Structure 1
Amino acid sequence: MTTPATPPMPERAEISGSTRIYAVLGCPVAQVKAPALLNPVFARLGLDAVLVPVLAEPEYLGEIVRGLQRIGNLDGLLVTVPHKAQVRQYADTVSSAVTQSGSANALRREPDGRWSAENFDGIGFVRGLRATGFDLAGKRVSLIGAGGAGGALAAALLAAGAAHLDVCDRDGDRVGALVARLGPYWPGRAAGAATPRLDGADLVVNATPLGLRPDDPLPFDVAGLPPGAMVADIIMEPRETALLRAAEARGHRIHHGSHMLTQQLDLYRDFFRLDTVERSEQAELT
């Protein structure tokens, strides 16, 4: 009897003195999938670059970001929970998506040393829905969580054609501020509440951190879901959150958080001008 051969481990990109650095900030950060997805992109493009996770405690966020921005070979930052709303203040310019959502998940160093902020969570989430065949046009959506990620999803869901959006958050000031930001762009199509509004929802989205830890409570009671509603979670790890398992057990279609990140890869590639770097390096070789 022969023992099956062990698949070879993928080679790590060699770190050199000219390596360009990208960092993903979070607290916690062990769950992030971006390094596993983006570092192979760097390798495929032949770039001397690496993305590393940085555990950033909220009370030290400013010191960490300002310190990283002073590293001469650091070209960009990705941002995850719970820093998306706060990190925008460390950018010199922000996009319309950042203004509408109130949060950022990517910062880029410009050639002049200034920093630009963008948010791809919303468009990544919408693209993920479309890739699985879910059409938002005319749909009623219930969004749980008005924080950094929730704000980005709210703006993108309305821009993609959702007929109405109910946003729930225990922080009344936060949900009120989000609905106020959305109002000028999509009048009358967004409303806020302290508790989830599930009646009539075609799509219910968890945009809170609830589900990252095994002992977390569910963000809402799945017994209140209307028949036919799809349930989405933006949590990457674990892939099958308790919410998704509970919803699927009741016969609901589910949507995993990994879709939101994988759909952002090309957006990150463009935002950080990785194709430009690749073309420049190729030109020097010809």
Structure 2
Amino acid sequence: MGAVPVTGRTRVFAVLGDPVAQAKAPALLNAEFARVGADAVLVPVHAPTARFAEVVTGLQAAGNVDGLLVTVPHKLAVCAHADELSATAALVGSANALRREPDGRWFADNFDGIGFVRGLAARGHSVRGLRVALAGAGGAGLAVAAALLADGAERIAVRDPDGARSAALARRLGAVWPGRVTDETAFGPVDLAVNATPLGLRASDPPPFAVADLAPGTLVADLVMEPHETPLLRAAAARGLPIHHGIHMLRCQIGLYARFFSVRRTRKI
């Protein structure tokens, strides 16, 4: 099915990031809009960190903007622009989707964690009982850690370049899952190692962790989607470790986003 034409009646959604060129959501969600005949379009918006509040406030003021998706590094900051948070967003303190409610209020949710866990399951990986090493305690890391714990991961060790942030994640989630999440400077033996940092978006980025320190059979997952084969995943594959690409998380989020935004047929086909 071809692309749905954009008209003056088209409802607008935006994905915000800094950078945003790597975003895969526009292609996938616009395909879903076209599939169901929705008169809607998702566009990428580069929202520089220093001007993020201005960008969000402006988009929320536009009468034909019905929703926002949020990517790195804005998932924590965007919560301040929501009138109400879902239970998940409130638990982890971050959001990656906001919708305009019929009364004009903005409701925020976070689908990173459930998308990541469903993406693993779709590739045959259960998280129950796993020992997990998580690099990154930002918005995505918080959501992924919570979803892994809720789905039965045995324990999670988290590390972030900002030690205060990893300690805060351990405290926040440790209050819900006592004894199952710790902040670490070095990872011990694990079954699953996850990169939830932006490291890998640029070829010059240092690795989020050393794959040489991982035991044989450790599954290495990267939330970075562009490039598809990140330096971390290439290094892991070269050592014979199983790998899991970032795109699997997003593919499992598309249906969730469509339901969240109440995407439905609005054109005669």
- Give me the TM-score of the superposition, normalised by structure 1: 0.91
1:184-195 alignment, distance < 5 Å: 184-193=175-184, 195=185
* AA matched with 1:264: Q
Separation in 2 of the partners of 1:196 and 1:94?
34
Contact 2:127 2:153 in 1 (8 A): yes
Match status 1:270 vs 2:251: no
Separation in 2 of the partners of 1:20 and 1:65?
17
Separation in 2 of the partners of 1:238 and 1:173?
29
* AA matched with 1:233: D
Match status 1:86 vs 2:86: no
Separation in 1 of the partners of 2:2 and 2:120?
33
Q: Which of 82, 85, 89 lines up with 1:98 in the alignment?
A: 89
Separation in 1 of the partners of 2:87 and 2:217?
34
Larger radius of gyration: 1
Q: Which of 207, 212, 222 lines up with 2:211 in the alignment?
A: 222
Separation in 2 of the partners of 1:253 and 1:87?
34
Separation in 1 of the partners of 2:129 and 2:115?
20
Q: Which of 236, 239, 244 lines up with 1:247 in the alignment?
A: 236
Q: Which residue of 1 aligns with 2:105?
A: 114
Q: Which residue of 1 aligns with 2:197?
A: 208
How far off is 1:240 after superposition? 0.2
How far off is 1:60 after superposition? 0.4
* AA matched with 1:139: L
* AA matched with 1:161: G
Q: Which residue of 1 aligns with 2:248?
A: 259
Separation in 2 of the partners of 1:268 and 1:249?
35
Q: Which residue of 2 aligns with 1:137?
A: 128
Q: Which residue of 2 aligns with 1:71?
A: 62
1:135-214 alignment, distance < 5 Å: 135-193=126-184, 195-197=185-187, 199-214=188-203
SS of corresponding position for 1:87: helix
Structure 1 alignment gaps of length 5 or more: 1-9
Structure 2 alignment gaps of length 5 or more: none
Identical aligned residues as a percent? 60
SS of corresponding position for 1:263: helix
Separation in 2 of the partners of 1:174 and 1:96?
21
How far off is 1:110 after superposition? 0.2
How far off is 1:228 after superposition? 1.1
SS of corresponding position for 1:141: strand
How far off is 1:13 after superposition? 2.3
Contact 1:39 1:50 in 2 (8 A): yes
SS of corresponding position for 2:224: coil
Q: Report the more deviating stretch, 110-119 or 166-175.
A: 166-175
SS of corresponding position for 1:274: coil
How far off is 1:180 after superposition? 1.4
Contact 1:102 1:178 in 2 (8 A): no
Separation in 2 of the partners of 1:180 and 1:149?
17
Match status 1:128 vs 2:90: no
Separation in 1 of the partners of 2:93 and 2:16?
18
Contact 1:154 1:165 in 2 (8 A): yes
Q: Which of 234, 237, 240 lines up with 2:223 in the alignment?
A: 234
Kindly indicate whether structure 1 or structure 2 has the higher relative contact order, using CA contacts under 8 Å at least 6 residues apart: 2
What do residues 128-183 of structure 1 show as CA deviations (whole Å, max 9, x unaligned)?
00111111111100000001110110100100100000011121221121111112
What do residues 198-231 of structure 1 show as CA deviations (whole Å, max 9, x unaligned)?
x220000000111000111111111100121000
Contact 1:151 1:178 in 2 (8 A): yes
Contact 1:128 1:260 in 2 (8 A): yes
RMSD between aligned residues: 1.2
Contact 1:101 1:154 in 2 (8 A): no
